[in-house]
A and B are shown apart, each in its own frame.
Chain A
Amino acid sequence: KQEVTQIPAALSVPEGENLVLNCSFTDSAIYNLQWFRQDPGKGLTSLLLIQSSQREQTSGRLNASLDKSSGRSTLYIAASQPGDSATYLCAVVGTGFQKLVFGTGTRLLVSP
């Protein structure tokens, strides 16, 4: 059974810092890995999707990497801003089933 773990569970940083969020998964047989952002009381917004054949994806200040063989992904946020404060979730789509398996998220607070 696929399990997804995110560390740390919470992170507080001052504005301007570069930071890394970690995601690990137990079964390397995946189709893709996605990073989502969730604001309090809101739904999920997709940030980046990395296919299993890819090593990384970039969007603006965000960069996500994937090491499928070791079961790890990182989300790098450059020059953090207070508007980046949210919960970040990673999820994997495994082979043989039509579902995303989610981690429990990292709650990020960026202080001005």
Chain B
Amino acid sequence: NAGVTQTPKFQVLKTGQSMTLQCAQDMNHEYMSWYRQDPGMGLRLIHYSVGAGITDQGEVPNGYNVSRSTTEDFPLRLLSAAPSQTSVYFCASRPTGLISTDTQYFGPGTRLTVL
């Protein structure tokens, strides 16, 4: 198993550009989520999905879109990049969509800089 994979590892954008961060998992997990990590603020939830076709907003969803057409993939779209979106983005998954005792598995992260 590759676990949770993310591409790209690094990205530099100009203000106003759009892009998609890719996330995939090969563990047949129902639950997937996106977090951003900023210095001094910890990780914050952007969007999450409890299964294919089902997504919901997290704590900081503005400026981001998600979709979940398959169990394996959960891409994060930046609609019009802003400098405030400079961050490290982590994708995570866990086996079930219910609030549970399952641990979460994290991808290696995408470091995004918006100029």
Contact = CB atoms under 8 A, between A and B. Distances in A.
A34 B100 CA distance: 12
B79 interface: no
B84 interface: no
Interface of A: 4, 31-32, 34, 36, 41-46, 49, 51, 89, 91, 93, 95, 98-100, 102-105
B42 A105 contact: yes
Nearest to B43: A102
A88 to B, nearest CB: 12
A98 B47 CA distance: 10
Given A98-B48, A98-B56, A46 B101 contact: no
Contacts of A99: 33, 45, 48, 58-59
The secondary structure that dominates the A interface is: strand
Contacts, number: 56
B74 interface: no
A44 B90 contact: yes
Contacts of B59: 99
B108 interface: yes
Contact of A43 (B40, B56, B90, B101): B90
16 contacts: A4-B42, A31-B99, A41-B109, A43-B107, A43-B109, A44-B106, A46-B104, A49-B101, A49-B103, A89-B42, A98-B56, A99-B48, A99-B58, A99-B59, A102-B44, A104-B40
A5 to B, nearest CB: 10
Contact of A93 (B41, B97, B99, B108): B99
A105 B56 CA distance: 27
B50 interface: yes
A54 to B, nearest CB: 10
Contact of B106 (A4, A32, A41, A43): A43
B105 interface: yes
Nearest to A48: B103
A104 B42 contact: yes
B48 to A, nearest CB: 6
B105 A98 contact: no
B2 to A, nearest CB: 13
A98 B106 contact: no
